[in-house]
Structure 1
Amino acid sequence: MAQISKPSVHVDVRNVGGIDEASVTLSDGVSILTGRNATNRTSFLQALMAGLGSRQTSLKGDAEEGGVTLELGDETYTRTLTRRGDSVAFGGDPYLDDPELADLFAFLLEDNEARRAVARGDDLREIIMRPIDTDAIDAEIRECKRERDELESEIEQLDSLERDLPDLEADRREKAEELEAAQEKLESVREELDELDAGVEESRTRKEEMEEAFQRVRDARSELDDLEFDLETERSTLTELKSEREELQETVEAAEDPDENPDRLAGRIDELRRRKRSLDDDINELGSVIGFNEDLVDGSGIDVDIDEEAAGDDPTAALTTGDRTVCWTCGSEVETDQIESTLDRLRQLRSDKLDERNEIRAEIQELTDRQSSIREAQREIERAEERLDAVAEEIGSTESRIADLEERIESKRAEIEELEEEAESVDVDGYDEALELHREANGIELRIERLEDEIDEIDAEIDEREAAIDRREDLKAEREELADRLTELRTRVDRIEDDAVEEFNEHMETVLDILEYENLDRIWIERRETEVREGRRKVTRTRFDLHIVRSSPDGTAYEDTVDHLSESEREVTGLVFALAGYLVHNVHETVPFVLLDSLEAIDSDRIARVVDYFRTHADYFVAALLPEDAAALSDEYAYVEQID
């Protein structure tokens, strides 16, 4: 199936790097910017980076403002550069809102941080992991843990309900047996009453009067029984409320005021974040200045007016003479060593600022964790105090209801005494025996009612618990999903690190096979744990260490260090590391460009192989090469020989 072609890219540049004005159209696939030094190839790549969103671009030394317009298909993107004192302000509507990924892994110019980290032998883990939002991952982990703990608590309650089921069922059987015995006893008492009634000759009116009197006693006793049950329930509730009040009071009294104010911590965190943003700007600015001056020293920097007759056939002769060069700020000649010395100081300053930024990141995380802990403790105290107030109100209401019930019970007991006296006043032959039987029957009926109510309550509780237990499997499944999610979150960073290491090692092995370095057998990254200090605490962190294996003339393999790599080997290693980051972070989904520059340390045949290998990883691959290096590349590529 034929590959679908991508739209061409048209770039208009004004006052960027060493370019006054230029317009270039790039097709998809590989585009080679070919030419001698000082032909603005690097400046054009920086302009293209600016249009895509990067800030690692310099404004032309003699200009107050500049800009880039980038047309990609039907879309147009812009980038403006305006001088503001000693700095440059960026504006417009570029392709990327956040260029961090692209700056690290797509814009592979000489000062690219990923390439330079390899060249310096830095810990490569920080470069690979910088774009990962670990704060968001940590927040999600905390939320998952909270949900998991709630589920585990609910499941534990359901387990407890299940453990109680046998006791409930045994209690129900016991109540049912009591009910059956009571019903049999009541039947026996009623038979005795029927026999007694058959042998007692009295008027129907007197018998009915006696029955009504006994019924009023039974009704009053039933009401007394209900009141006493309500009183027992309220007293039990009062005991539980008082116990809860004691626990809440202990919680509030045991709580200690935090040593720090979370609002004051928030101010410190905001201050650190502002400092971090300032460092980000400084680091980007330093990167641009360093890159620009490196281009100047190499002879590929800004255009200046030169004496063509004095220069002869060499367009850089007037810029660099021996160990002197033309300063781009004032136009005077200065010692190249002076610029190199300044560059070393700038590189060290940038390295120091990178270290400071890492320390600030760690301090921000520590303060954020501490702030969250303090606020959560404060919320716990506030919730306890609010519940304490509510419990106090509930205790007052319960005590009021208890007093009311006690008063009603006393009144009901007095009423029962009066009703019994009234029943006893009915004059019927055989009354004493009938009265005793009616009293016994009344007590049995009350006990039967209470047993039936208790059995109904137990049945309802058993049904409720069995229904809840049925939900337990769903809760367990949900807990397992959360556990898997927690595991996935906790291992996400590890997986990204593992993927980065694996990608790098696979690509490095392939590239080394392609480039055929005679005594360079293997270059690979080892991922290992190490203990470091962050603020006032020690934490375990991973680092990526680069290992090199060489072979001696007699075929013996031995391990070497990055410092002993040749410049060519180091450049290739840096490029492959950056490409691994491009693949691991799926940078092609964010920006479909790879820009490549400063390959002079690699011989032309190997450059051709590197370009051929890299070109499959981006829709637009743009590389700046010297003519003799470009000559070794395929004729199928697009070549741009003049930036104008």
Structure 2
Amino acid sequence: MTWHLSLENIAGIRQGDAHIEPGVNAVRASNWQGKSSFLAGIKTAFGTAMPLTEGQSTGQAVLQTDDEEITVELERTNGSVSRSGQPYLVDEYDQICAELFAFLDEDNDIRQAVRIGENLEALLTRPLGFENIDEQIADLQTEREQVERELERADQAAERLPQHQQRVTSLEEDLEELRAERDAIDDDSAGESDARDELSELRAERDQVATKIERLETTAERVRETVTGKRAELESLTVPSDADVEDVLESLHADLRDIERDKELLQSVYEANKRVLDEGRAELLTEVSHDMLSDSVTCWVCGNDTARDDIEAQLTALDDRIADLQSQAAETRDRVEELEAKRDEIKEARRKETDLTDRIGDLGTRLAETEEDLESARERQDELESHIAELEAEVDSTEDRISDLESEIKYTEAELTDAREELEETETLAEQREMLEEEYDSLTGEITDLRTRKEDVKRRTREAFSSALADLLEQFDTGFETARLTSTFDLVVAREGREAQLDALSEGERELLGIVAALAGYGAFEVSQRVPVMLLDGLGGLASDNLQILVEYLAARTEYLVLTAYPENEGFDGNELSPSEWQVVSHEPDVGPA
């Protein structure tokens, strides 16, 4: 279970190695001793980073686990760094999940977003873009359609099964009666002549041809009826043009981009000026005169004298304009969704038109073949009737009856063989119904899960955020009561019963919320099943006792936890790593801090 990591020219480490034990692993040292570089080495071995030491042309990270030895080599060519060797995480999806939700160093995207108060939806749902959900749904739908066709055949077979069973029973009874009658005929005086044998065979063939003609006539009539129905269905089908829909959609998308751009621009102007006024820092931009009724300022945009109240009124009007743009964007999105649904309906109508046309063509071919077979069978029937009439004159009534019986016996035996084979095939097909129904339900469930995948992940992410935060808030003495992720993934904090700005929190509180947000994705995407290690760095804003609580909480959720610590931090219950024997950039003469 112990890992061994060896680094050469990775980040600030020239040469160094250490053992990583299950549980907590603390890299303890002062600044510029290689703590963060060691975590960068782990990221290199896992395939999420390529931090080749500045000025070096090659470097490598070797990770020895119980199961394998992973070697990742870095090389600088023409100013860019390339990687060779297979890292621990090969799939890009796993690498994205690790970088976002497990490798919680100071540069973690989610922690940075929380620090500056950015919306978290794009980051917390980024792995979904690598799951190819639409392609998976299309493949599953194709597979389900095939299963549905097979299930329909199995259902039809089950409906026909009693008829086939009855037919076999009836033929067995008929054959028994025919054989009994044949045995009862005293035919001692008459032998089986060639004429009688031939007559028997011709009669048997005639009966088979008659049955074949009847079957072909039924088939031809059924195909004609089907063709008529399909043609009527095709004629009644209306396939509208989607040219106008596509043009309107393109225009609406352009409008939506313009609205979003305008809103973002106005929002930036509003937030910057609002912050200046809210924090009382107008003197940074202009001169401020404090009067009895209101502060007088020089407008930092136009240079004219004005009152603080007037500027606030302008900001209120600007906020209203932003709200109007938001409303316009929502209305435009609704219209886009409506038109996209209409476009999908048109595509479905076109697909149905193509299917009907192909089906009619196939049925036409089948009808022509059936009619050709029918004509041949009728010609053969006429030939047999003529030949049989000639032979019947050559045999007496007894021989006629014997021939008839033998013919009927042969025909019945052939019919019974066919009936038994058809019964066996029908039973086999009918027995597949339960298996096909389970497979159909399973595919439907998979399709449903994929269609709701994004919303489920969002929901689980918000739930995981709330759960993790609730666990930690019980142990941390924070300046806020609670926090939550909204349905649009904005981070909202409550202090003293009211919503508070993130920038009003302490550095440590923002770092704590950033880690909790990353843990939400860690749970929602089940990262621990594919990434057995979690990294923690850049937590100078947390007090030592709070860091202890956080480390215990994270260690319970991962197999290996590796973090950085300063000498003054209290000891952790785990493996202590000292970089004292590592060769780091900061130890070299005439080289500044790394």
The answer, yes or no, to whether TM exceeds 0.5 is: yes
Query: Which of these residues, 16, 27, 48, is aligned with residue 23 of structure 1?
Result: 16
Which residue of the partner structure matches residue 504 of structure 1?
Answer: 465
User: What aligned pairs does 1:201-350 form with structure 2 within 5 A after superposition?
Assistant: 224-237=206-219
Of 93, 102, 105 in structure 2, the residue corresponding to residue 106 of structure 1 is 102
Q: Please give the per-residue CA displacement for 1:234-284, whole angstroms capped at 9, x wherever unaligned.
A: 44455566778889999999999x99xxxxxxxxxxxxxxxxxxxxxxxxx
Q: 1:522 to 1:452 in 2, by over 3 A?
A: same
Q: Using a 3 Å threshold, how does the CA distance of structure 1 residues 57 and 403 change in structure 2: closer, same or farther? A: same
How many angstroms apart in 1 are the aligned matches of 2:577 and 2:424? 81
Partners in 1 of 2:148 and 2:446 — Cα distance?
Answer: 15
Tell me what 1:593 maps to: 533
Change (3 A) 1:444 1:581: same
Contact 1:65-1:80 at 8 Å conserved across structures: no
The residue identity in structure 1 corresponding to 2:482 is R
How far is 1:572 from its partner?
A: 0.8
CA distance, structure 1, for counterparts of residue 367 and residue 233 of structure 2: 19
Q: Indicate how the Cα distance of structure 1 residues 17 and 386 shifts in structure 2: closer, same or farther if over 3 A, else same.
A: farther
Cα distance in 1, alignment partners of residues 214 and 3 from structure 2: 87
Q: 1:222 to 1:513 in 2, by over 3 A?
A: closer
Counterpart CA distance in 1 for 2:157 and 2:100 is 57
Equivalent residues in 2 for 1:21-170, closer than 5 Å: 21-28=14-21, 29-36=24-31, 38-55=32-49, 57=51, 59-60=53-54, 63-70=55-62, 72=64, 77-92=70-85, 94-98=87-91, 99-132=95-128, 135=131, 138-161=134-157, 163=159
1:345-369 CA-partner distances (Å, limit 9, x unpaired)? xxxxxxxxxxxxxxxxxxxxx9xxx
Deviation at 1:611, TM superposition (A): 3.0
Q: Secondary structure at the match of 1:599?
A: coil
Contact 1:67 1:78 in 2 (8 A): no
Distance 1:449 1:566, change over 3 A: same
Report what 1:549 is aligned to: 494
Matched residue, 1:640: 578
Give the distance between the partners of 1:25 and 1:498, measured in 2 at CA.
40
- 1:109 is displaced (CA, Å) by 1.9
Q: What CA distance in whole angstroms lies between the structure 2 residues aligned with 1:81 and 1:221? A: 87
Residue from 2, 5, 15 that aligns with 1:7: 2
**Partner in structure 1 of residue 547 of structure 2:** 607
2:489 is paired with a residue whose SS is strand
| 2: CA distance, partners of 1:255 / 1:31 | 70
> How many percent of aligned residue pairs carry the same amino acid?
25
Structure 2 CA distance for aligned equivalents of residues 636 and 464 of structure 1 = 67
Distance across 2 between alignment mates of 1:392 and 1:105: 60
TM-score normalised to structure 1 length: 0.54
Name the counterpart of 2:333: none
CA, structure 1 residues 58+568, in 2 after alignment: closer, same or farther (shift >3 Å)? farther
Which residue does 1:581 correspond to in 2?
521
Give the TM-score normalised by structure 2: 0.58
Q: Residues of 2 paired with 1:42 and 1:462: CA distance?
A: 74
Name the structure 2 match of 1:300. Answer: none
What is the number of residues matched between the two proteins?
462
**1:341-392: CA deviation from partner (whole Å, max 9, x where unpaired):** xxxxxxxxxxxxxxxxxxxxxxxxx9xxx9xx99x979x889959985x975
2:563 is paired with a residue whose SS is strand
Measured in 1, the distance between the counterparts of 2:200 and 2:80 equals 99
| Residue aligned with 2:511, SS | helix
Aligned AA (1:515): F
Q: 1:40 to 1:402 in 2, by over 3 A?
A: closer
For residues 471 and 549 of structure 1, do their structure 2 counterparts lie closer, same or farther at Cα, with a shift above 3 Å needed? same
Q: Cα RMSD between the aligned structures?
A: 5.6
The verdict on how the C-alpha distance between 1:234 and 1:68 changes in structure 2, with shifts beyond 3 A counting, is closer
Task: Assess, with a 3 A threshold, how the Cα gap between structure 1 residues 82 and 474 changes in structure 2: closer, same or farther.
Answer: closer
Gaps of 5+ in 2: 243-339, 584-594
Aligned-pair CA distance for 1:121: 3.8
Moved more, 63-72 or 505-514: 63-72
Higher RCO structure, 1 or 2 (CA under 8 Å, sep 6+): 2
CA–CA separation in structure 1 for the residues paired with 2:419 and 2:99:
70
Please identify the structure whose Cα radius of gyration is greater: 1
Residue 524 and residue 47 in structure 1: after superposition, are their counterparts in 2 closer, same or farther (change >3 A)? same
Q: Which amino acid aligns with 1:45?
A: L
Rate the CA distance shift 1:454–1:255 in 2: closer, same or farther, 3 A: farther
Partner AA of 1:49 in structure 2: K
In the alignment, structure 1 segments of 5+ residues that lack a partner are 1-5, 195-204, 260-365, 427-434, 529-542, 552-556
Residue 511 of structure 2 corresponds to residue 515 of structure 1: no
Preserved contact between residue 252 and residue 385 of structure 1 (Cα < 8 Å): no
Q: Tell me the residue number matched to 1:341.
A: none
